[in-house]
Amino acid sequence: MLKSNNLTVIKKGELEYIKFPKLDKLSCVKHIFSTRLGGVSEGDCASMNLSFNRGDKRENVLKNYEILCDAEGINKDGLVLSHQTHTNNVLVVDESHKGTGISKPSFQDVDGLITNKPGVALVTQYADCTPLLFCDPVKRVAATSHAGWRGTTKLIGKVTVDKMTELYGSNPKDIIVGIGPCILDCCYEVDSPVYKEFEKISFLNLEDIFTPKENGKYMLNLVKANFLILLNAGIKPENIDCSDICTCCNADSLHSHRATAGKRGNLAAIIELV
């Protein structure tokens, strides 16, 4: 079973999944982050794969969503998926978009989703990139964003907060955020071009997120980078849960692109207002 000092790991039979303690305290929202355990997929996607684009059987993916949603009472008929391409494009969705990416064509080039409508279950997918889940319990708004290093340098976390503020009147100080399992700096070696993209973010102290190596490369801490970006967006530090789980170190429990050289399924973060 996965171990964490910051997040809650839940095991129900063969199914294992993760929740964020601060989001879990809110009565207005349901959420879940999958592991690769407890599904019906086989081969490289075994067993809890939530992507239709990894060569898995469609019926397996649908069953996996059913298993995962049932575990936390999430409305599987309200799921909304997008085709993620490492952008900072964040889309507002409502009841009319239920089933997008499942029974309707997926949104293209969208890496973040926001709603203020109950029963609309927002989904983003991962296999080393950083999951961000948001809830404003005052204005009753939920969001999820996919932050790989490209999305992080494009400040997708801040873009999401800014949209919640602009469109729904959210006060960033009210927003609760979960930063989910991703590849951590123990395993995430990057090269100079990645470092140079982060150099463009004026408010970041790069020594806080990069550890230089003798080979001229760097170890990158994406959780810390997104935490600092969220602080810059006005989120209070005490309102953020930060993952201490590395997807690459735990590739037996979590899908990791780097650990498997791309032979993997996808994890999913789901959040739904109630």
Any idea which residue has 């990158």 for tokens? 220
Q: Residue 66: which CATH number?
A: 3.60.140.10
Joined together, the tokens standing for residue 236 give 């209070």
Query: Mean pLDDT, 10 residues at a time, over the chain (274 residues)?
Result: 97 98 98 98 98 98 98 98 98 98 97 98 98 98 98 98 98 99 98 98 98 98 98 98 98 98 98 98
DSSP category for residue 154: T
Is residue 3 in a domain? Answer: no
Phi/psi at 79 (5° precision): -65, 140
Angle between helices 222-232 and 156-168 (to 10 degrees): 30
How far is Cα of residue 129 from the mean position of the Cα atoms in its chain? 7
Joined together, the tokens standing for residue 89 give 């494009």
Q: What domain count does the chain have?
A: 1
How far is Cα of residue 117 from the mean position of the Cα atoms in its chain? 20
Is residue 109 in a domain? Answer: yes
Domain that holds residue 127: 8-273
Is residue 2 in a domain? Answer: no
Q: For residue 207, what are the contacts with CB-CB under 8 A and spacing of at least 6? A: none
Return d(Cα 114, Cα 160) in angstroms, integer. 8
Do 130 and 222 touch, CB atoms closer than 8 A?
yes
Q: In this predicted structure, what is the pLDDT of residue 248?
A: 98
Joined together, the tokens standing for residue 67 give 């298993």
Per-residue pLDDT tens digits for 16-70: 999 999 999 999 999 999 999 999 999 999 999 999 999 999 999 999 999 999 9
How far is Cα of residue 244 from the mean position of the Cα atoms in its chain? 14
Is residue 74 in a domain? Answer: yes
Half-sphere exposure of 52 (CA within 13 A, CB side): 18
Joined together, the tokens standing for residue 40 give 């019906």
Per-residue pLDDT tens digits for 62-75: 999 999 999 999 99
Q: Could you tell me whether strands 141-147 and 112-115 are parallel, antiparallel, or unpaired per DSSP bridges?
A: antiparallel
Name the amino acid, one letter, at 11. K
Q: For residue 119, what are the contacts with CB-CB under 8 A and spacing of at least 6? A: 75, 78, 95, 98, 272, 273, 274
Return d(Cα 46, Cα 48) in angstroms, integer. 6
Name the amino acid, one letter, at 37. L
Rg of the chain (C-alpha set): 17
Per-residue pLDDT tens digits for 81-96: 999 999 999 999 999 9
